[in-house]
Structures are given as C-alpha cells and as structure tokens.
Amino acid sequence: MSELNEPQRSAVAFERGPLLIFAGAGSGKTRTITFRIANLVSTHRVPPYRILAVTFTNKAASEMRHRLVSIVGEDIARDLWLGTFHGIAAKVLRRYAVDARLNPNFVIYDDSDQKAVVTRALRDLDLDDKLYPPKQILAMISALKREGHDPAEKSLGDDENLDRIARAYQSALTRSGAVDFDDLLLKLVQLLEDPERPASLELRRKFDHVMVDEFQDTNLVQYRIVRALSANSRNLCVVGDDDQSIYRWRGADVRIIRGFQRDFPEALVVKLEQNYRSTGNIVRAALGVIAKASDREPKELWTAESAGEKVVLRACPDERAEAIFVASSIQKGRARGISSKEQAVFYRIHAQSRVLEEALRGANIPYQIVGGMRFFDRAEIKDMLAYLRLVQNPDSDTDALRVINVPARGIGDKTVSRLLDVAAENTTSVLQALRIALHQGEFNAGTAKKLAAFEQLILDLEGAKDKLSPADLLERIIAQTGYKDVLEKDDSAESDARLENLAELVGSLREYEAEAPETGEAPTLVGYLERVSLVAATDSMEDVAKVSLMTVHSAKGLEFEQVFLTGMEEETFPYRGLDGHDPEELDEERRLAYVAITRARKELFISYAGSRFLFGRTKYVIPSRFLEDIPPDCVKREGDLGRTAYVSSGPSSTYGAGSHSYGGGRREFGGGGFPSSRGGAPNELLSPGGRAGAKSMTIERGGRHIDREAFDDLPFDDAADAPSYEREPVVARAGQKVKHKSFGIGVIERLESGAKPMVVARFPGYGVKRIVADFLEFL
DNA sequence: TCTTTGTAATTTTTT
DNA sequence: ATTACAAAGA
C-alpha cells in the first residue's frame, strides 16, 4: 500500500460493491488493478478462480499475470480467470457448449472466412454481390449482433433480401460448427440471460469479483455479459478513461462508462489523475488537444515531473522527407543511448507505413511492424490452419473448400460446384457431401479417384490427431498433403519464404506447447486454434531491440521513451474517408490523437507534410487542426513545408526565389541560402496569431520527385534538412491577396487539401471562388 | 484444370 | 499502388 498514492489506495482497498475508476493516461492503472487483485486474494482470501479480470488484449492479460506471479505467486496467478472478452467467451462456450447451443468443436471464423460464407450465401440465393457487397452485409450483421440481437430474429432493414442473406449466413455458420467474433459474445450473453439453461445459473454464481479494464471501449453485449456475471455479487470493478475511447466504429460505446454511475448509484468513483509516465511538456500538449473534446467526464490530469524536452513539431515537404526525418532522428536517439525497444513510430493508417519502412531499411535500422499484414494472414499459413481446423471440425466448410484443391490435386471449380449442390440437397457439410457423392457414383472414375484420395487424406489426419501433439500433427500435414513437395520443387525465392513461414508456424505451435502449462492448461489443438484466432496486433509484438511501427490504435495501452507521431495533417489525422466527418467521429479522432501523444514518456516528435503520396496519388495537405491546440510554449518548431516557408516572413509573402534544382540533397542552396529552422516564419505557419482559421501551405509548381535510387542514397545524417525536390514554390496564407485572370484581385479565405492545392478566395463582385492555385498569381 | 494476362475496384482504425 | 477478379489460352 505504501507504493500507492491516495486514490490508488482507496481503489485497491475497496472490497465489496461496484467500483468505477477513471484512470487518466499513465496514472498507474494496471498497477492499481493488479494490486487490487492481489489484495483480494491475500487479504480477503478470495479464491483466485472466483476472480475474473478482463483486459483489452492478450498481451495486457499476460503482463498482468506476470506481475501477479511476482506478488502472489505462481499457483494463485495461474488460477485467475484473466483474458480478453473474446478469449474468456471462447473458453466458457467451449466448456458449456451444449447449453450454449454450440458444437463443442466449434471453430472461429475471421473476416475472410466470414466473407467466404456470405459470398456462398449470395450464390445460393442467386443474388448479386454488387448489389449486396459482402463487406457491407457483414458490417450490418455485426452491428446487429453487437447490440445483442440475433440476426435470425431481428430484421436488418427494409430489403427482405438482407434478412435472407443474414439468415443464410447464420445457418451456414451453424451447420459448419463455426462462430464469428461477434457470436462469441452474443452466444455467451444469450446463455447467461436464459435461466432455462442450467449453465446459466452456474455461471452467474461463478465469480465473486469481476473487473474490466479499458472499460471505455466496451460494447453493449460486453456490458451485458459483465453485468450478468456480477449480478449475484455486485462486485463489479470497471476501469477506464472516456478520453481514450477510440473504438466507436467497432461498437464500443463511451456512454456505457459515462452512464455507469446511473446504473450503479451506490458505486464508489475513484479518479486517478496523477500522470507518472510523461514529462510536463508532453502532458500539457496532450491536455491541450483533449481539452477541446466535447462531453468529457471532468478530470484534471497532472504530473509532478519536470517539463523535460519540448515536443518537436516538424514540418516536412512530403512524406519521404518526413520518413527520412524520422529515420535520422531515430539514429540520433540511439546514439544518445535510447534503446530501440523504447522507440516507436505511429501513424493513423497502415498505408502510411511503407515509406517509413523504406527509410528505416535505407538507414539500416531494425524495426518491427505491429499489426497490418499479419503472419497469420499469409496464404500458406491460412492453408495450414484450414487443414488443422478441418481436422478438428470436419463440418467447417470454409476450411474444406479452401484446401480441397490446395496443393493442386485436380479438383477444379466444376467438381467443387457439384459438391456444393450435393451438400445443399442433403443439407450436409461439404466433406459429408463428398462421401455421399462418391457413394452414389456421382462422378466419373478419374474425378472420383481424386476425391477419394482427398477423403482418405483427411481421414488419415483425423486419425493422427489424437496420437500426435499439435506441432507434430502440423508437420504431418505439411508433408502428407504434398504442400512441402510443391514448394520444394519450385525453387523461387517466394517458395523459400513460404517454407520458412511454415517452419515458423511449426515453431509457433511448439512454443504454444511449451507455454500452455503456464495458464494451467494442457496444450491442445483447440487451444492453439483459439489462440491464433484471437490474437491482437500487439500480442505478437516481439520483445527485441527493434523500433516498433504501428497504428495509433495498436499503440493503445503501450508506452515508449521516444515517440514519433507522423502524418499530422488534415485528412490524414483526423482521417477523412470518402465522406466527411460527423462531429462525433471528429471527437474520436481527437481522442485518438490524445492517446498517441500520451504514449510518450520523455520525447515526442510530431511531424506533418505539405504533400503526401498515398493510394497512388499525391495530395496537398494542410497541418492538422489538432496541432493548433497544443500550447505553443511546450513545442519546438522545426523544418518547413518547402523552401519558401523560410523565405517568406510576413502574412503576405510572395513567390519563392525562383527555380532551383537540387540533385543529391547535400548541395548548397542557391539564392543565398535560407535562414535556419529557428527563423520566425515557420512559427507563423501554424499559429497565425489570431487570424481565425488561418493555415498556410506550400504550393509547388512543376515539382518533380527525384528517382528512387537517389532517395535511397541520401545521406542520413543531415538529409532530413535537405529538400529532395526541384521546385518553384509559393507560400499562400489566409488574408493574402491573389490575382485571377477574370476575377481580378481577391483575398484568400482558406486553403484546401486535394490533388492540387486549392485556394478559396473572395473576389469583390464575383463572390467566393474555389480555384486551383496554379491559376492564381500571389501578390 | 491450370496458368497467364488484362482489367477493374479499392483503399481506417481490429477482437 | 496494390490487389482482386475475370477471361482467355495451354
């Protein structure tokens, strides 16, 4: 207790009844929960298996378990129920499969499996997938399930075809003995809320204490689950921070944490407001950004730490310059003794990672990408997992269809299509249909032989299932399916890589076999498959000396000494998809920015570019609105959006100093050089001193990318300060005068992002016009 | 049935 | 830019 501050202590000591902990960023949240569990177990003698703690990721769960091992010992820590909602649900559903109305061997379908099921349903119903895009259908089904509704009972909308598809989808899952992610939660809540089912009562009494971390990102079904599980004891402890709610799009509802006191009026509310993680400047920057969010639970985050380094705000001409800046700063950080493990680069969307990767590779900096194209998403891995799942559950059609002709064994579309018809006629699984068809002499001798061979293969593997360990079984599959031979015969680099991936998969199974006993379970195929289905991006983060690259979402719950937050531009962050933002989305983007900033302990670098090449085209962008909310005195501005930002120093500056070309990036500038980044102008770029909404951007005429090789060869030490363009730029800014051929002289109102830099200006007599900057003369 | 080639669509965040 | 998909040829 002496290691805790006052509010932390009151949370830890609180034994019975509902407890709501508002835990600000870096306020020792995990420490508090961990201590509370330890206290319940050792002081109040609560049996560990009567405590359920839900975390947001498996990684968070295992970290908590490790901490508990060191406080209360291995035996006790092992018996706790600790995991994610989905992980816990899978475990419970497996155990009470009958009452949950599930096949005990159920498999968990991921996005691509789900898509395959919907596509098949559309085919069966003879509906056009252009009219009913599988992704959108799935989004609707998911939304329905997250609200706690069963698609069999509740309508998706006016179009009755939608309901037909949803029902076909759901019955296909049932027949295949499969569940999707939402089902895991839905089936559990259905089980818990149905007093007719024996397991319901048992489960409702099972836990003395229920704790939920990251409660701000809980959805309705999850809330119903924890309420049911804690209904008996009333001992429900939830921990969260409404400022860090960033999963609304996934069904999370901040209103749940905000409404907790209404649902539990007797709840003790504790606020953890002292930040132990970050320096003063970083905390102030974060607070500046979050202060503008609407609907916040009132709280005051503060820190006793010194101000520390200023937050570096770096302007870059484009995303390449930004990447080089990041790479060279990482090198400098490392030279100062910062461990690579403590360095992280954040971006809003995965697509931004490529350029960063290139720059890091170019600078020989080891890095790991967290999330994105996952190991388990690779084709060869999915093939092997499909075999494993098929062995576990032969009804899983998606898996059967995936591997029936992998590696190619002469069973083509035509044959598969006939098999599907047989399956539909007999309402059986594909594998069962195969047996029926063979029995009925449905196919000619050649085809029948191939099909029989496949059936025998699966039978053999099923026979091996109980004799071999999961890893050995996989090795058997790799060999016996002929997958290995095919890859070995083809000696392309790609096949080699695939073989390596397969070896890695075997390794991952062996690792699982070695680790499973830690949580008190025997290693089984089911256990492994569950684990890979429910991995989060951060779960597979390696604890090695590498810089981590990840989306801001993935960064939730993590912290690093040195953080690079990239792409802080309008449209990129806040991200703007096809259609605009509603205010709630914008608020969520703001919270996302807050999460990103608060990950940094000592050093924070925020960068933004003047133009960004993304999704195949260059877009001219203006700095993120969030940057304006960071108090100016805790930042240090660096760099420029383009050369002329240096030259221009007033609000009405004009053309740049003419055309200059730069080859290698190290050459001296022409035209007498430019002031250093400490000049006054860049400051005005972002904080235009009271001019409402004024932003500026560099407009480039005839700019041209230098080629790739030149990019790779840029000297990393000072390349970040050198432009890599041939350009003739101009700085424009609100309030400035422009001249147009037909409209005459006007005043700029604002600037807009786009394929080409756009200027919105008011011309007397003509009104407000939106014009491509190329057609304007800047006065 | 498999492979190659060309065309079109698609780009947030994830358990 | 990348990828998914479709159609045509081997």
A81-83: strand order across its sheet: A81-83, A51-54, A209-212, A236-240, A19-23, A268-272
| Helix and strand numbers, DSSP H then E, in chain A | 30, 25
Mean pLDDT of chain A: 83
The H-or-E segment that residue A176 falls in is: helix A160-176
pLDDT of residue A642: 63
Binned at pLDDT 50, 70 and 90, residue A377 comes out as confident
User: What is the residue whose two structure tokens read 């939830």?
Assistant: A238
The nucleotide lying nearest A614 (C-alpha to C1') is C1
Nearest nucleic acid nucleotide to A185, CA to C1' distance? B15
| pLDDT recorded at residue A719 | 65
Instruction: Tell me the two tokens of residue A544.
Output: 């090695």
Residue A580 contacts strand C, CB under 7 A:
no
Q: Is residue A662 pLDDT above 60, yes or no?
A: no
Reported as half-sphere exposure (CB side, CA atoms, 13 A), residue A356 has a value of: 27
> A777, A769, A690: which is closest to A732 by C-alpha?
A777
Does the pLDDT at position A643 exceed 50?
Answer: no
Distance A530 CA to C10 C1' (A): 43
Q: Which nucleotides of C are covered by protein (CB under 7 A)?
A: 1-2
Give pLDDT, residue A713: 38
**What percentage of chain A has pLDDT greater than the value 70?**
87
Which candidate in A271, A277, A389, A599 is catalytic? A599
Q: SS3 for A78-141, per residue? A: HHCEEECHHHHHHHHHHHCCCCCCCCCCCEEECHHHHHHHHHHHHHHHCCCCCCCCHHHHHHHH
Q: Give A492 CA → B5 C1' in Å.
A: 21
Nucleotide nearest to A115 (CA to C1'): C4
- Percent of chain A with pLDDT strictly greater than 90: 51
**Is A190 one of the catalytic residues?**
no
Omega prior to A682 cis, within 30 of 0: no
Active site residue A174: no
The answer to whether the C-beta of A335 is closer than 7 A to strand C is: no
Q: Which helix (H) or strand (E) holds A19?
A: strand A19-23
Q: What is the largest CA-CA distance in chain A?
A: 88
First to last CA, chain A: 67
Highest mean pLDDT among A153-162, A329-338, A767-776: A329-338
Distances in whole angstroms, Cα of residue A266 to Cα of each of A156, A237, A262, A263, A394:
38, 12, 9, 9, 51
Closest nucleotide to A246 by C1' from CA? B13
Per residue in A8-64, pLDDT (tens digit) is 999 999 999 999 999 999 999 989 999 999 999 999 999 999 999 999 988 889 889
State pLDDT tens for residues A65-104: 999 999 999 989 999 999 999 999 999 999 999 999 999 9
User: Is A607 within 8 Å of A314 (Cβ atoms)?
Assistant: yes
Catalytic residue list contains A318: no
Pairing mode, strands A725-733 and A696-705 = antiparallel
Which range has the worst mean pLDDT, A212-221, A392-401, A498-507, A644-653?
A644-653
Confidence of residue A552 (pLDDT cuts 50, 70, 90): very high
Q: Are A346 and A566 in contact (CB under 8 A)?
A: yes
pLDDT of residue A620: 84
SS3 A23: strand
User: So what's the pLDDT on residue A497?
Assistant: 80
pLDDT tops 70 at residue A343: yes
Confidence band of A435 (pLDDT split at 50, 70, 90): very high
Band of residue A578 on the pLDDT scale cut at 50, 70, 90: low
Which nucleotides in chain B lie less than 7 Å from some protein C-beta?
1-3, 10-15
Q: For residue A646, is pLDDT > 50?
A: no
Note if A741 is an active site residue: no
Q: ∠ CA A90-A94-A98 to the nearest 5 degrees?
A: 130
Contacts of strand B, CB cut-off 7 Å?
A 57, 84-87, 110-111, 133, 135, 181, 246, 249-250, 348-351, 371, 405, 408-415, 447, 534-539, 550-551, 553-554, 575, 577, 585, 615-616
CB A615 within 7 Å, strand C? yes
Radius of gyration of chain A (CA): 29
Asked if residue A767 keeps its beta carbon closer than 7 A to nucleic acid strand C, the reply is no
For residue A30, indicate whether it is catalytic. Answer: yes
Q: With H, G, I as helix, E, B as strand and everything else as coil, classify residue A338.
A: coil
A616 C-beta less than 7 Å away from strand C:
yes
CA dihedral A698, A703, A707, A712 (to 10 degrees): -20
**A259 CB contacts (<8 Å, ≥6 apart)?**
none
Phi then psi dihedrals of residue A481, to 5 deg: -75, -10
- Nucleotide with C1' nearest the A413 CA: B1
Instruction: Give the distance, in angstroms, between residue A388 CA and nucleotide B2 C1'.
Output: 26
The 10s digit of each residue's pLDDT in A95-138 is 999 999 999 999 999 888 888 888 888 888 888 777 888 888 88
Q: At what angle do helices A353-362 and A319-335 cross, to 10 degrees?
A: 50
In which residue are the tokens 């004891």 written? A233
DSSP class of A642: S
- Between CA A311 and CA A288 the distance in angstroms is 13
Q: Long-range CB contacts (< 8 A, 24+ apart) of A95-99? A: A96/A191, A96/A199, A96/A203, A99/A191, A99/A197, A99/A198, A99/A199, A99/A200
Cα separation values, A327 from A199, A282, A716, A732, Å: 55, 21, 8, 30
Nucleotide nearest to A615 (CA to C1'): C1
Active site residue: A180, A214, A571, A638, which one? A214
CA distance A327 to A410: 50
How long is the CA A709 to C1' C1 vector, in angstroms?
Answer: 18
Q: Which residues 6+ apart lie within 8 Å of A545 measured at CB? A: A339, A340, A341, A366
Nearest to A541 by CA among A556, A563, A562, A524: A556
Count of residues in chain A: 779
Output the CA–CA distances (angstroms, integers) from residue A171 to A152, A155, A184, A512, in the order listed: 9, 15, 15, 33
pLDDT digits (tens, 9 = 90+) for A267-297: 999 999 999 999 999 999 999 999 999 888 8
Residue found by looking up tokens 């035209």 in the block: A671
Catalytic residue among A34, A55, A244, A274: A244
